[in-house]
Amino acid sequence: MSGALITAYRAFNKILKHLPVEESLPDMLLHIIELTEKTFNHRQTSILLFDKNTQKFTPFTNKKRHQLSRERFMINPTKIHFESICSKNKIIISQHITTNNEYREYYSLKSINHLNSCYGLPILSSRNKVLGIIYSHCPQHSLMSDEEYELFEMAATVCSISIEKNIKEQELEYMASYDPLTNIWNRRAFYRQIKMAINNIQHKNEYIIVFYIDINKFKMINDQYGHRFGDRVLKKYASKLQCFNNENTGVARLGGDEFVIYSEVKTLIEANIKKKSILSELNKIEIDEIIITASIGSHCIHASNIKETNIDSMINHADMSMYKEKHLSRSCAL
């Protein structure tokens, strides 16, 4: 085994030791790129990550090296050879850029970077699912040596471990922050986000308004039409409320049929407009010809008074307002 390969093994082992405490996946992937380029010397490395939602490969970029990475990734446009690379189980596919017509429009970039061929290796999960591709771009038509191939496999393996760790962390964070039925924030996430909103407006002449939404006669709906229908109602309301999500507004399900919204607004008029728009969106939702309604209460507080209250108090005030609205609507109905 050559000295270069031994050094590479040690370097990859060092990366793996740092994996539990590394700040982010981009940091890990950047380390891998830098290590393979340092070892290969005359080659450049790029990584493309597979997004299972869009079923597309997207280039990994890092702010520290954005321009350089962008030029490299453009040499391998979307849909070129990804399928052939990923259909092979850990077999490197060699593609000569200068002799392949699919690369013709990228010849100028090829010339800028002095690259003539590239090698791709799929990054596979522990369950043999494609997570991405690692590419090595070469300045000449030369095959990889056995040692270079072994290093490339190591790089793909470390990429796989890093990506899978990141996926698991995201899954755990999602489960901790989102309601499993409606896929909107849960109580924990709502409290975290509204704290940030409170900090954001403390030195501004603005308001935070909290809306409390309760589905009318939900227990009766569950008893009469069954819990599956009740779940459909909750999902429908959640999807309606999600349209209000933006950088100044957040939506959550507190539990049962109770939803809560916070919004940063500049004036009380804007707060009232927001309330009317929510009411309009939720008024008389129909599922299987059954009309369902909801009641909404609100509590608005100016930034100058924000330190004198707390989140639980804001929610409780909005809850009491909602019950007043519900009582009034019942009285009017009589």
Give tens-digit pLDDT for 239-295. 999 999 999 999 999 999 999 999 999 999 999 999 999 988 887 788 998 999 999
Under DSSP, the state recorded for 267 is S
Give the percent of the chain with pLDDT over 70: 74
pLDDT band at 63 (very low <50, low <70, confident <90, very high): low
Task: List Cβ neighbours of 230 (8 Å cut-off, separation of 6 or more).
Answer: 218, 221, 222
User: What is the pLDDT of the chain when averaged over all its residues?
Assistant: 79
Backbone φ and ψ for 246, nearest 5 degrees, come out as: -160, -170
Give tens-digit pLDDT for 305-326. 888 788 999 999 999 999 888 7
Q: What share of the chain is helix, strand, coil (3-state, %, to 5)?
A: 55, 20, 25
**Residue 268: per-residue pLDDT:** 92
Q: Tell me if the pTM is above 0.75.
A: no
Please give the average per-residue pLDDT across 81-99, as a whole number. 47
**Residue 117: per-residue pLDDT:** 65
Q: Which two tokens stand for residue 18?
A: 């740092």
